[in-house]
């Protein structure tokens, strides 16, 4: 075997050793072409699926911001802030009582809130709602008594502040 045949056979025989093991040069070229086609198609498809951002429409992705819709109703806010250990039945009755009272149905509100009080007799928000409804009804003595009981049972600063404001308005 001469030197030329030896070099020629080495060029045709397996040359690449790597993650694919030993492979023929022709196979390597086919893999290179397939990899190139795959990368180009991924690049093209990725460009097609991206959307252009219109200034002022999409938020900036440079900074992370959490935007929450503010709760417009102070009563819904109180329900959310004080809901830590409230039974679901009480939460539903509080919401229904508030809706009835805000809709002008004072008797329906008192009925729902009284049921909520039977379920959760140590919930300060129930006392606050009952005191507010009694105040709207004109029974300020009962409203003050309920507000004081609500202050006794609550530890939430926001709810305490609302109860104290209610008591101040009753005196």
Residue 154's CATH number = 1.25.40.10
For residue range 30-83, list pLDDT tens digits in order. 667 776 676 666 666 666 555 554 454 444 444 444 444 444 577 778 888 887
The predicted structure's pLDDT at residue 78: 80
* Mean predicted confidence (pLDDT) in 18-40: 64
The predicted structure's pLDDT at residue 16: 44
Lowest-pLDDT range, 12-16, 32-36, 106-110? 12-16
In a domain, 128, yes or no: yes
Which residues have CB under 8 Å from 101's CB, separation 6+?
A: 108, 109, 129, 132, 133, 136
Is 88 found in the same domain as 37?
A: no
* Encoded tokens for 19: 């993650």
The predicted structure's pLDDT at residue 155: 87
Q: For the chain, what percent of residues have pLDDT higher than 70?
A: 60
Is 159 found in the same domain as 106?
A: yes
In a domain, 35, yes or no: yes
Is 133 found in the same domain as 94?
A: yes
Instruction: Let me know: does 79 contact 94? Beta carbons within 8 Å.
Output: yes
In a domain, 64, yes or no: no
With cut-offs at 50, 70 and 90, classify the pLDDT of residue 21: low
Is 133 found in the same domain as 92?
A: yes
In a domain, 158, yes or no: yes
Is 83 found in the same domain as 31?
A: no
The predicted structure's pLDDT at residue 89: 92
Q: Which domain holds residue 14?
A: 3-48
Is 159 found in the same domain as 82?
A: yes
Is 78 found in the same domain as 44?
A: no
Is 164 found in the same domain as 87?
A: yes
Report the alpha-carbon distance of residue 66 to residue 64 in Å, rounded. Answer: 7
Nearest to 81 by CA among 170, 162, 164, 165: 162
* Mean predicted confidence (pLDDT) in 15-29: 56
Is 161 found in the same domain as 118?
A: yes
Is pLDDT larger for residue 17 or for residue 124?
124
pLDDT at 93 over 90: yes
Is 97 found in the same domain as 35?
A: no
Is 118 found in the same domain as 159?
A: yes
Is 89 found in the same domain as 163?
A: yes
Cα-based angle 147, 152, 153 (whole degrees, multiple of 5): 100
């Amino acid at each position: 075997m001469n030197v030329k045949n030896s070099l020629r056979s080495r060029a045709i025989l397996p040359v690449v050793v790597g993650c694919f093991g030993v492979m023929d040069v022709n196979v390597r070229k086919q893999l290179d072409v397939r990899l190139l086609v795959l990368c180009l198609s991924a690049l093209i498809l990725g460009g097609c699926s991206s959307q252009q951002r219109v200034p002022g429409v999409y938020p900036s992705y440079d900074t992370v911001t959490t935007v929450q819709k503010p709760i417009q109703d102070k009563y819904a806010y109180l329900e959310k802030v004080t809901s830590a250990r409230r039974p679901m039945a009480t939460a539903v009755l509080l919401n229904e009582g508030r809706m009835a009272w805000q809709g002008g149905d004072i008797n329906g509100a008192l009925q729902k809130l009284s049921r909520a009080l039977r379920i959760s007799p140590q919930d300060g928000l129930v006392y606050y709602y009952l005191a507010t409804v009694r105040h709207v009804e004109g029974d300020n003595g009962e409203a003050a008594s309920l507000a004081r009981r609500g202050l006794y049972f609550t530890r939430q600063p926001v709810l305490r502040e609302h109860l104290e404001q209610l008591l101040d308005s009753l005196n």
